Amino acid sequence: MATLVGIIRRVRSEVGDFAAPFVDTFVGGDELSSYDLSEVNVTTVTAKAITTSPMSSADLVQDADYVLNPAEGSILLINPDYSPLKHGQTLIVRGRSEGMFTDADLTTYVTDAMNQHTYGRTLRTRYRDERGNIKYDDEPIDLENLPAVEEPLVAYLAIINVLWTMATDASSDIDVNTAEGTFVPRSQRYRQLMEHLGELQGRYNSLAQQLNVGLARIEMFQLRRVARTTNRLVPIFQSREYDDTSRPERLLPPVDGDEYDDESGIPSPLYPGTWG
């Protein structure tokens, strides 16, 4: 059974975005109360203030002694005893970062990939009800009943969504060319991301085509027929197995034609069952 944690772990492995611990040390100078940490998207953080004269140490409490900005990776001291950090005081911050993307961000990407990959698909099971009649149940496909062979495809699609975000960020980088002859091709990162995106998209499309899954899978549809006597669409019903005793299920396929709507406002005569 596929799990959200497992797919996120696979995405982080493919992108190279791993969590990492960090330790930062800041020496006071009676000037600063805000410090930038060495990592962004931090999660668990512990802060300790050490005073040399007299020698003492104190564990700082979040929201009481300091305020943490997890996304930007900065800490702001708000306790008057340490704000600003004075001479002879040292601030030690230990924590762990989630990498470029948080688990919440990757959860969004995986959810979008799952919705796209399983769009319009259900898993049909056959069973007997309490009266002994044969019934069929159509259950939407989710992570719990996703076939194991399709788990890498959902991960690939989530990785594609992640790389698109990275490519959008890199698209604003421009090449640097100085008068001294120094050339920094910053746009190369964008080109490499787009090339890798194309390769990964082809990889996903090839596997999805072989399994006939995803948004580009081959589907069978029923054509709508219009009755010649009434000029109305003939109702169609969901196809059923031979031994399915459930009631017929009406289908309502979309009908295109809004661009041909009569906007004149002239009413038309209506005679139900005959024409109109």
- Domain range holding 24? 20-97
Place of tokens 């005959």: 274
In a shared domain, residues 55 and 154: no
The distance of Cα 193 from the centroid of its chain, to the nearest Å, equals: 18
Q: What is the pLDDT of residue 271?
A: 58
Structural domain includes residue 261: no
| Residue 199 is assigned to a structural domain of this protein | yes
Domain boundary pick from 211, 233, 262: 211
Counting the structural domains of the chain, the total is 2
User: Among residues 97, 113, 139, which one ends one of the domains?
Assistant: 97
Q: Are residues 199 and 110 in the same domain?
A: yes
Domain-ending residue, one of 48, 81, 97: 97
- Residue 12: the pLDDT is 92
Amino acid 273: pLDDT: 47
Tokens of 233: 């669409």
Digits of tens for pLDDT over the chain (276 positions)? Answer: 789 999 999 999 989 888 889 999 999 988 889 999 998 889 889 999 999 888 889 999 999 999 999 888 999 999 998 889 988 899 999 999 888 888 889 999 999 999 999 998 988 888 888 888 888 888 889 998 999 999 999 999 999 999 999 999 888 888 888 778 788 888 899 999 999 999 999 999 999 999 999 999 988 877 888 888 888 889 999 888 888 888 888 888 877 766 777 778 887 666 554 554
